Amino acid sequence: MYVRFISRFLSAMAGPRPVVMSGPSGAGKSTLLKKLLKEFDGVFGFSVSHYHYVTREVMQADVAKGEFLENAEFSGNMYGTSKAAVQAVQAKNLICILDIDMQGVKNIKRTDLNPIYVSIQPPSMETLEKRLRDRKTESEESLQKRLHAAKVDMEISKEPGLFDVLIINDDLDLAYGKLKDALLEEIQKVRDTNNS
Q: CATH number for the domain including 35?
A: 3.40.50.300
- How do strand 19-22 and strand 116-121 relate by DSSP bridges? parallel
Q: What is the pLDDT of residue 87?
A: 86
For 54, the domain range is 2-187
pLDDT tens for residues 124-183?
A: 999 999 999 998 888 999 999 989 999 999 999 989 999 999 999 999 999 999 999 999
The answer to the question of residue 102 being in a domain is yes
Examine residue 20 and state whether it is found in any structural domain, yes or no: yes
Answer yes or no: is 193 within a domain. no
The answer on pLDDT for 62 being more than 80 is yes
- Reported as a pLDDT band with limits 50, 70 and 90, residue 63 is confident
Number of domains forming the structure of the chain: 1
- Which DSSP symbol is given to 196? -
Question: pTM of the full predicted structure?
Answer: 0.82
CA–CA distance from 54 to each of 40, 61, 65, 66, 132 (Å)? 32, 11, 15, 16, 29
Give pLDDT, residue 52.
54
Q: What percent of the chain has pLDDT over 70?
A: 89
Mean pLDDT confidence for 90-112: 89
